Amino acid sequence: MKPIVLASTSRWRLQILNDAGIVADATDPNVDESTVMGDGPVETARLRAIAKASAVSRERPNALVIGADQVIYLDGETIGKPRDAHDWRHRLVAMRGRDHKLTTAVAIIEDGEIEAFEVTTVVRFRSDLTDGEIDRYIQHGEAAGCAGGYMVERRGAWLIEEIRGDWLNVVGMPVLALVGRLRARGWRMPK
């Protein structure tokens, strides 16, 4: 089988792949995400995943390249990475007691052919989440660079009441759907 390359600097995505037995190298795609925009959050994620995978595929044409991009949106509006503590607090307060959607788009490039798909998960924040808890979470700082401003796999678990859908999608990579796509290409569980 070909080598697998993850077009990402996310250690979380790489860890998810490796834990699933998808041994991959990670390469920075060097894509300015702010220049890649679609008509909505899901299309934007798809275009960014393709851009990342395409950039790395040009460098590694003999590999199977996986690119991914994640968007979080509430009421159709994208909630990106917090710009500062005030913006961060505003976003977390807006999600309190409400559902929001998280979509990860994945692009696979092999032999010049692009396959892209998305997985969407619904996340509900706790309604009993206090302002003090939100402030403490922000002060902890673990998710300053994360879309939405939280990490469900860490202290962000205190913010979340329920996840409907793929938990690993929330962490950063919908590995179940990815494994299905790899199996369709002839890949099987490694030894």
Any idea which residues carry the catalytic annotation?
Answer: 69
Show Cβ contacts of residue 92 under 8 Å, excluding neighbours closer than 6 positions: 125, 129, 134, 137, 138, 149, 150, 159
DSSP conformational letter for 155: G
The owner of tokens 């007691």 is: 97
Query: Where is 88: in which H helix or E strand?
Result: helix 85-95
CA distance 25 to 40: 31
